[in-house]
Amino acid sequence: MQILSFPEAATPAGLRVQVRQLQDRAWSPRSGSDTPAPATTHDPALRPLSMLLVDEGRVLAALDILFKEITHAGRAFSAGGLSTVVTGEHARGRGYGRHLVAAARDTMISQHLDLGVFTCDRPLRAFYESAGWSVLPGAVLVGGTPQAPFPSDQPGFDKVTMSDFFSAAGREAWTTFQHSRIELYPGEIDKLW
């Protein structure tokens, strides 16, 4: 078993097909759509990095890390976030997803980011905590664009914001991120990561 990492657009076709199949099974694609799936899922401006847990050519779990410079409390920070985290039904309950999510955290650290921040469904909180992430108390991610914001606390969402602060600048600013609205603004393709 190994973890493979590729810029999303450079993921080998055979592996990318397996990832799309896992994603489609997890998030039910629009039925009746004859439109072929795009080669990539994310906005290239977010420099998506795909991480795959593979065993003998079979993708067991996958996720993408997205990267963006954000401004918060008047300061610039390099941020990363998890997106499209999925484990195949056949591989669940064995710690594979947790292993991959923890490896993604290590990758963000190795990229010298100030922080990692993302939202997840409230029932998944314990899963992400077990992989080294922490809840960012009272924080709301504001996705979309400034003209069309997409906040994580909108009606019908039951999200929590997970985070970790890697650099000295990030750790120093940690309290400013608590109980705040974090203007992520990743765009129209990745409204929230």
Q: 3-state SS string over 138-179?
A: CCEEEEECCCCEEECCCCCCCEEEEEEECCHHHHHHHHHHCC
Cβ atoms of 78 and 69 within 8 Å: the answer is: yes
What integer is the mean pLDDT of 137-147? 97
Please check whether residue 61 is in contact with residue 88, taking contact to mean a CB–CB distance below 8 angstroms: yes
pTM above 0.75, yes or no: yes
Residue 163 has a pLDDT of: 98
- Cα–Cα distance measured from residue 47 to residue 75, given in angstroms and rounded to the nearest whole number: 21
Q: Positive or negative CA dihedral for 155, 142, 173, 81?
A: positive
Both tokens assigned to 17: 């097909």
Enumerate residues 6+ apart whose C-beta is below 8 A from 148.
Answer: 188
**DSSP 8-state symbol, 92:** T
* Mean pLDDT, residues 81-92 taken together: 90
How far is Cα 130 from Cα 32, in angstroms, rounded to an integer?
Answer: 38
Mean pLDDT of the residues in the chain: 92
- Written as six digits, the tokens of 127 are 């899963």
Name the more confident of 94 and 138: 138
